[in-house]
């Protein structure tokens, strides 16, 4: 049970670091080596806000366009019909 909780916790740190445009693998290794000290350092470094300029999302074939911060929706019925 302890190993499972540790893996879930490390997975959360990895995912959260990636969402914040940080090196997730580096943070996981640091936390494994230093334990709670690494966790405290991570929370101090990460801040409160996610980096929204580098977030890539997909919603049912909708894609967030990062360069213009607009959401583009693709109709699956007509997709590719204009390309010859």
Beta carbons of 27 and 14 less than 8 angstroms apart: yes
12-59 pLDDT, tens digit each: 999 999 999 899 999 999 999 999 999 999 999 988 765 554 444 444
Counting beta carbons within 10 angstroms of the beta carbon of residue 64, is it exposed (0 to 12), middle (13 to 18) or buried (19 or more)? middle
Global confidence as pTM: 0.56
């Amino acid at each position: 049970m302890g190993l499972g909780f540790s893996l879930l916790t490390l997975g959360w740190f990895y995912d959260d670091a990636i969402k914040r445009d940080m090196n997730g693998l580096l943070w996981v290794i640091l936390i494994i080596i230093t334990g709670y000290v690494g966790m405290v350092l991570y929370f101090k470094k990460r801040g409160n806000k996610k980096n929204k300029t580098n977030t890539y999302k997909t919603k049912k074939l909708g894609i967030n366009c990062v360069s213009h911060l607009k959401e583009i929706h693709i109709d699956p019925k007509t997709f590719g019909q204009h390309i010859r």
